[in-house]
Amino acid sequence: MKVPFLDLKAHHEPIREQLEAAVSAVIDCNAYAGGPFVARFEEEFAAYCGARYAVGVGNGTDALWLSLLALGVGPGDEVITVPSTFMATAEAITYCGARPVFVDIDPRTYTLDPNLLERAITSKTRAIIPVHLFGLVADMDAVLAIASRHGIPVVEDACQAHGALRHGRKAGTLGDTGCFSFYPGKNLGALGEAGAVITNDAQLKTKMQVLRDHGQAKKYFHSMIGWNGRMDGIQGAVLSVKLKGLDGSNSRRRAHARSYNELLAGVDEIVLPVEPASCQHVYHVYAVRVPERDRVLAAMAERGISCGIHYPVPVHLQEAYRFLGLGEGSFPVAERCASEFLSLPMFPELTPEQVETVARELKVCVASLNVHECVA
C-alpha cells in the first residue's frame, strides 16, 4: 500500500461545493483584496482563538514581520528565537533590520528551552519569538515569566499550531501577539497564501492594519511606510468555510498520533513525540527521531511510504545566515534533532490501515538497516 505524506484532494473533496460557493460569492461582490469576507474571517478566527482581534495578512511571514514592526522592532535590535524552525521566523526578524539571537531547543518538546533563555537576553533584546513547532505550544509559562521580568514582549510563532492548547488556552493568545500561516498544508489551510495575527491589544491591532495596507489608515493618506500585506478576499471566504471543520480535523490528527504512539511504542531506535500534561498537541507534523535518518527515509520511499523532513538544516547553519558566524556545535540539540527528524504521513483523512502500514514499514526499515539507538 502506498501512503502519501499529505493528501489535500481528500481534504477538500468533501467540502468542494462549499468552497466553490464561497469563491463565487467573492466574485459576485468583487471583494478581492481585503473587504467584507476578510473582515468576517477575522472576527470568526479571533472568536475561535479567544482573542479580541485578528488581522488578516498575506501569509505567515507577513504575520511575524508586521507583528514585530508594530512592536517597534528595528535596526540595531535583537530578537530571540530558536534555530529549529522554518526560515520565515528568522527572515521576519532580519527584515525589521534586527538581528536574530538563537536559543537551543528542549530535547523532548523541540521548542525553546527556557532554561537557556535568560542568558541570551541583552540590553538590545526587543522581543522573544517562541515557536510552537509541529503543533505543540512551547513552555509559555516559563517564557512569559522571564519576558515579564525584563519587560520584553513575546510574539508567538503559532504558524503550525492552529487550535493547540496550553492550560486550556489557545496558541497565539498567551503572548502579546500570535502569528499564523494558512499555507494550504497547514491544519487550517487556505487555497493559496494567507496568514493572520491575533492580539488583545487594540493599539497593536491598529498598527498592523495600517502596516498591511501601505501605511494608510485612510485611502491615499499614509501615516507610515507600510507594505502590501492584505489577505485576499477569496482566501478569507475559503478560511471561513474551513474554520468550521478545524476542531474535527485536529481531533482526527490526534487520533492518528495516538495510533502511531501505540504501534511504535517500545522500539528503541525510534523516539516518539511527547505531549506534556499541560498541552494539547495538534500534530501539524508527526515527527519521530531515528538514527541514520536519510537511509530510513530512502527505505520508506522504496516501500511506497512518503515521509518528510522538518527541517534538515537549522537556521543558524543556513548559507543565508553565515554572517552570524555560528558554526556547527553552536546549538547541539537543534543540530542533532535536524539530523534525526523523520516526519511521518499526517493528515486528517488518513485511514487506520494507512497508519498501520506506515508504522509497520518503519519498524521493518529500522530493523533491516540495523541502525543504532537514538540518544533521547
User: For residue 208, is pLDDT > 90?
Assistant: yes
The arithmetic mean of pLDDT across residues 120-139, rounded, is 98
pLDDT digits (tens, 9 = 90+) for 98-128: 999 999 999 999 999 999 999 999 999 999 9
Ranges of H-type helices in 87-244:
88-94, 140-150, 202-211, 233-243
Q: What is the largest CA-CA distance in the chain?
A: 67
Report CA Rg, the chain: 21
Percentage of the chain exceeding pLDDT 90 = 97
Q: Give yes or no for a contact between 346 and 273, defined as CB atoms under 8 angstroms apart.
A: no
Q: Give yes or no for a contact between 176 and 199, defined as CB atoms under 8 angstroms apart.
A: yes
The arithmetic mean of pLDDT across residues 61-80, rounded, is 98
pLDDT digits (tens, 9 = 90+) for 172-196: 999 999 999 999 999 999 999 999 9
Residue 101 has which C-alpha cell?
539571537
Q: How far apart are CA 33 and CA 26, in angstroms?
A: 10
CA triplet 323, 327, 328: central angle to 5 degrees? 150
Question: Domains of the chain (ranges plus CATH)?
Answer: 8-102+110-243 (3.40.640.10), 247-368 (3.90.1150.10)
**Cβ neighbours around 36 below 10 Å, total:** 14
Nearest of 118, 110, 159 to residue 139 by alpha carbon: 110
Where does the pLDDT of residue 77 fall: very low under 50, low under 70, confident under 90, or very high at 90 and above? very high
